[in-house]
Structure 1
Amino acid sequence: MSNLYKIARMISVVFMLLLYGSCDKKQDFTVPNIIIINVDDLGWKDVGFMGSEYYETPNIDYLSGLGMVFTNGYAAASNCAPSRACLMTGQWTPRHGIYTVSPSTRGKSENRKLIPTENTHTLSNDHTILPEVLHDNGYVNCHAGKWHLSDNPLEYGFDINIGGGHNGMPKSYEPPYQNVNIEKGNNTYLTDLIMEKTLSFIDSVRKPFFLNYSPYAVHVPIMPVNSLLPKYEKKAPWNGQGNPEYASMVDNLDRNIGLLIDKLKEKQIFDNTLIVFTSDNGGLYGLTKQKPLRAGKGSYYEGGIRGPFFFVFKDKIKANTKSDAPITNLDIFPTVLEYAGINNSNLSLDGDNLSLVLEGKAELLERPLFWHFPIYLEAYNRSDNENRDPLFRTRPGSVIRKGNWKLHYYFEDHGIELYNLSEDIGERNNLAKANPKKAEELLMDLKDWWKDTNAPLPNKLNPEYLE
């Protein structure tokens, strides 16, 4: 992106703040506002509407009941940065090259058989991303919270940035936040302060807006909200969920989303706002568990990539509906453009427009889903994990889901695991030997996808590897 463009962008920010800063006019719009709530590390069952009997999320549960919940909703990657890059670009990981956070050589070299693919740390400006398209079509864009794809989201189509940078987590949720640049306000706990600034943005804006609300919560460091702790200290653990400090952060997240809902209703714009709720990957295994799903964040078993996922848009999406259609956060980009009335024929998007499913005109999308992770991600707890081995959450591999079938392929040993998720959602019974034809079918589909996306395939041996 040119320096001239950056200067023009900053001028536009100042202009919009001046133009839309007064609060005596009601928002004027003909197209919907767009809000994406992308929570950090929130597990599939870390919310009440997905069945948790430990965490209390009444506001999120209420919101989910106003639209369609996807029981097979996925992130396109199992950790933060690649998942967020997929959402913003609408493209599979091989197309943008962001596979993990920082280096791809995670874990001890002596345990890595292959030289992993080099990781891309910053999202290239060559990609046309969602906020840029919306901005070019008249939207005012606000990023609030975790960005993680570059130093400054204002260089990527956003007009206002609340606390976003290259950092993947805050060093502290209490001031001084150290690595989170945000102006002081009435609140001090970081997620409360981010919401305070977000509500001020909604108060000020007079045009259709896009809000990318991505609070750092519930990512580590686990720093409890003390006023909420007693409630969870008194509760009995449930199904691998029982950490009161983490629960207080989930509760605080829910409380802030309740404030967002109230503000939209106060401004009389709730009914004309498309809201997408999801998580950037699975829950952090050990801190929280997603039974019966296997493993957690960083793994490509279901617990690492499946998350809570719903869409709300009054008069378009029927309330209290559910879909079993497998979707990923790649589908958000084209779906948002559909409801914003923006033509995307000139864009190369790997996701699909979900409007037919959301509006009850179709039940499923006949397409496979893919994940590619040609690198290593070390385990953080060798004694308590459900990974393929105790040393790594993920070794270099790829995954395909097609219908109810899911195949894992590993580059180190050419290992294959095949699961029928309709019968074995916990991925415990490997059917690769019992059903070789299905395994070969999915493997061929996966190989075709590698070619289509020019996916890097790690095959160079690591000379430091010790067998």
Structure 2
Amino acid sequence: MNLSVSHNLLRKSLLLFFIYIFQSCKPAKTDYPKDTKPNIVLINIDDLGYKDVGFMGSQYYETPNLDALAAEGMVFYNAYAGAANCAPSRACLISGLNTPRHGVYTVSPSDRGNVKTRKLVPIKNTDHLNDTIYTLPEMLKSAGYVTGSFGKWHVGHNPSTQGIDINVGGSAKGNPGKGGYFSPYKVDHITNGEKGEYLTDRLTNEAIEYIEKYKDTTFFLYMPYYTVHTPIMGKESLVTKFKAKKSSNGQNRPDYAAMVYAMDQNVGKLLDVLKSHGLEQNTLVIFTSDNGGIRAISEQTPLRAGKGSYYEGGIRVPLIIKWPEKIKPKSTSVHIISNLDIYPTLQNIVEPKIKAGALDGIDLIPILVKNDSVKRNLYFHFPIYLQKYNELKDQGRDPLFRTRPGSVIISGDWKLHEYFEDSVLELYHLSSDIGEKINLAQQNPKKVEQLYEDLKKWRERTKAPVPFEKNKDYIQN
């Protein structure tokens, strides 16, 4: 090789080197490439009923911001919580595991109600998720996310041991305490604001600061508001607003309506901040509730019962998922899904370095992106007692308990309840009887047998404990 050729090669090599250096020093593009991991905002409202929002048909409550969000994403009409009350449902969401795998069945203890009215000794409850469980926030941290939680945690004493970087207001507490919606507050890990500051507003303001601080990273914002859990406390101006409004279909409490409206306003503020910072297009937003609403406070007609019951009113929840350019706006789904599905779906999207092992939900991407049909069963296990809330309005099997120990399977249009005390099986055809009024077990013995066998096999796979010990204090009426 002559000298001139070698010089030319050297010059080309140097030129390519400096071009590379120059381009690598350019500021990053503001447009997100298609394979950029989305920011994730998961809003989990406490005790919000299936029909307590406008986009699900309420004529009394006003939720304009949520109705707008529903029009921008996909609304699910057959969405379920993992359990019928707060602690187990949240444990399912955060762990991706069904109740037999983590042992959180209720807010302790499990022997609720009058001891003389319980035929069985219930299975002992586990209060919180064990720290050895690989949580949803921990998985997201493995994928490079900053994680923040603002509000009710309830699955452990300190969210920082379960994958949360920034925590405001979260601990083992399950409600804001007497008078706790107005400062001075009764929850942990939050400083008091000015006297009379509203907790829902405060949590939103804290979350907005979090978004603004981490807007140039990839973040997970978990927004588990304490609202609309008891005590029912709305801002006086909003209570007055709804006192002037005509009630509708068993929804008639102005103080509760004021809480729903304030929640909607605050969700609107969060969404506006995402838009103002140019984050909307690369943010996946999920809105849901942790379980059904309390029927004595807000009826979910035509659904039967409410929070704490495994009839539809206790486990069906509102759900919206918005993901720009991935999920078609104004889309709807009637596929049966669960909050157990959120973990595996997000895991498949973000592709963490360390994945969870076995998860009990399914990946929703085929439904979200293609609206494909996905055949699956849902299972619920509640081997304990939950006492009545209001015997006249609960719509339980009996006036003493919202539910007694049992399991449930939902398969297509069919739903089978099994109750352990008396070995009773109840079969309902949900598409024709969403109110679970007509027990079809005697008319459909083959369907009962099929579903019962599936339910027993699931309990065997998950090692679900079934109470069998007789309660020596039980007194038969």
* TM value normalised by structure 1: 0.92
2:349 is the alignment partner of 1:352? no
User: Within 2, Cα distance between the matches of 1:224 and 1:361?
Assistant: 39
Alignment of 1:431-450 (within 5 A): 431-450=440-459
Structure 2 CA distance for partners of 1:65 and 1:222, relative to 1, 3 Å:
same
Asked if the contact 2:53–2:61 (Cα under 8 Å) also holds between the matched residues in 1, the reply is yes
2:192 is the alignment partner of 1:192? no
Give the equivalent residue in structure 1 for 2:471: 462
Give the equivalent residue in structure 2 for 1:174: 182
User: Within 1, Cα distance between the matches of 2:193 and 2:326?
Assistant: 37
User: Within 1, Cα distance between the matches of 2:317 and 2:188?
Assistant: 26
Give the equivalent residue in structure 2 for 1:228: 238
SS at match of 1:91: coil
Q: Which runs of 5+ in 2 are unaligned?
A: 1-28
Q: Of 183, 186, 198, which residue of structure 1 is paired with 2:191?
A: 183
Number of residue pairs matched?
A: 442
SS at match of 1:86: helix
Give the equivalent residue in structure 1 for 2:20: none
2:87 is the alignment partner of 1:77? no
Identity %: 51
SS at match of 1:359: helix
SS at match of 2:72: coil
Asked if the contact 2:97–2:359 (Cα under 8 Å) also holds between the matched residues in 1, the reply is yes
User: Within 2, Cα distance between the matches of 1:447 and 1:343?
Assistant: 35
1:337 partner amino acid: Q
User: Within 1, Cα distance between the matches of 2:346 and 2:354?
Assistant: 10
Give the equivalent residue in structure 1 for 2:16: none
SS at match of 1:375: coil
Alignment of 1:199-238 (within 5 A): 199-205=208-214, 206-238=216-248
SS at match of 2:370: coil
Q: CA deviation at 1:434?
A: 0.6
2:130 is the alignment partner of 1:95? no
Asked if the contact 1:53–1:238 (Cα under 8 Å) also holds between the matched residues in 2, the reply is yes
Give the equivalent residue in structure 1 for 2:114: 108
Q: Of 57, 63, 80, which residue of structure 2 is paired with 1:57?
A: 63
Give the equivalent residue in structure 2 for 1:327: 337
Q: CA deviation at 1:234?
A: 0.9
Asked if the contact 2:381–2:407 (Cα under 8 Å) also holds between the matched residues in 1, the reply is yes
User: Within 1, Cα distance between the matches of 2:248 and 2:333?
Assistant: 26
Give the equivalent residue in structure 2 for 1:41: 47
Asked if the contact 2:39–2:220 (Cα under 8 Å) also holds between the matched residues in 1, the reply is yes
2:45 partner amino acid: V
2:435 is the alignment partner of 1:429? no
2:306 partner amino acid: G
2:136 is the alignment partner of 1:126? no
Which aligned runs of 4 or more in structure 1 are off by greater than 6 angstroms? 25-29
Q: CA deviation at 1:346?
A: 5.2
2:185 partner amino acid: Y
Q: CA deviation at 1:385?
A: 2.2
2:394 is the alignment partner of 1:382? no
User: Within 2, Cα distance between the matches of 1:230 and 1:122?
Assistant: 39
2:437 is the alignment partner of 1:420? no
- Residues 121-156 of structure 1 deviation map (CA, whole Å, 9 limit, x = unaligned): 121012111100111121000011000011110111
Give the equivalent residue in structure 2 for 1:19: none
- Residues 76-115 of structure 1 deviation map (CA, whole Å, 9 limit, x = unaligned): 1000000000001111100000000010000010000000
Asked if the contact 2:96–2:343 (Cα under 8 Å) also holds between the matched residues in 1, the reply is yes
* TM value normalised by structure 2: 0.90
Give the equivalent residue in structure 1 for 2:382: 373
Q: CA deviation at 1:334?
A: 1.0
- Residues 46-82 of structure 1 deviation map (CA, whole Å, 9 limit, x = unaligned): 0000000000000011111111111000001000000
Structure 2 CA distance for partners of 1:448 and 1:51, relative to 1, 3 Å:
same
Q: CA deviation at 1:367?
A: 1.1
Range moving further from structure 2, 403-412 or 180-189: 180-189
Give the equivalent residue in structure 2 for 1:265: 275
2:146 is the alignment partner of 1:148? no
Q: CA deviation at 1:341?
A: 3.5
User: Within 1, Cα distance between the matches of 2:142 and 2:349?
Assistant: 16
CA RMSD of aligned residues (A): 1.6
User: Within 1, Cα distance between the matches of 2:236 and 2:314?
Assistant: 29
Give the equivalent residue in structure 2 for 1:308: 318
Range moving further from structure 2, 296-305 or 149-158: 149-158
Structure 2 CA distance for partners of 1:141 and 1:304, relative to 1, 3 Å:
same
CA radius of gyration, larger in:
2
Asked if the contact 2:134–2:356 (Cα under 8 Å) also holds between the matched residues in 1, the reply is no
Q: Which runs of 5+ in 1 are unaligned?
A: 1-24
2:323 is the alignment partner of 1:317? no
1:397 partner amino acid: G
- Residues 177-199 of structure 1 deviation map (CA, whole Å, 9 limit, x = unaligned): 22333124578111111111110
Asked if the contact 1:28–1:208 (Cα under 8 Å) also holds between the matched residues in 2, the reply is no
2:327 partner amino acid: I
1:62 partner amino acid: A
